[in-house]
Amino acid sequence: MPLSEYEQRVLDQLEKDLGTDPKLGRTMARQPRSRGRLVLGVFGVIAGLAVLVIGAATQIVILGVAGFALMAGVALWAMLGPRAKPQAAPKQSSDKTPTGSSGAQSSGGQSKSKKGRAKDSRPFMTRLEERFERRREQGDL
């Protein structure tokens, strides 16, 4: 079902607003966390919980506090650690022009994606915008 003119204008405005939000761009360009670090964090939290329960059962306050500190420390270590495989995504996004000329970029984006998606280090929002423009040009929307 095609979009009405009003819906198309609203969608265009949302697209422009998303492109101008630097915090969202940084968030979407982040790499996922290391799976091994998260698994160790889960095991560490479980171990800290066990120490906390043992401390509460034996009424040794210092053991309970140590268990809680262990849980909190390991959870922070797992969540605030470095990201997996850092890439230079912001460097490539500065070479691109805003969405106004994405029609010229879409043919280059297609050839890059045909070469191999695993090597595509463009930011998520840039790829999403190019795919949206291609669909709009082809009349798939």
The DSSP string of 19-83 is HH-HHHHHHHHPPPBPHHHHHHHHHHHHHHHHHHHHHHHTT-HHHHHHHHHHHHHHHHHHHHSPB
Note the pLDDT tens digit of each residue in 41-80: 999 999 999 999 999 999 999 999 999 999 999 999 888 8
- Helix, strand, coil percentages, rounded to 5, for the chain: 75, 0, 20
Phi, psi for 83 (deg, rounded to 5): -80, 160
Q: Please report where in the chains the tokens 């909190």 appear, as a residue.
A: 72
Note the pLDDT tens digit of each residue in 95-123: 444 444 444 444 444 444 455 455 667 78
Tell me 54's DSSP state. Answer: H
Does residue 85 or residue 17 have the better pLDDT?
Answer: 17
Does residue 10 or residue 113 have the better pLDDT?
Answer: 10
Task: Tell me which of 12-16, 39-43, 120-124 is least confident.
Answer: 120-124
C-alpha 61 chain-centroid distance:
40
Percent of the chain exceeding pLDDT 90 equals 26
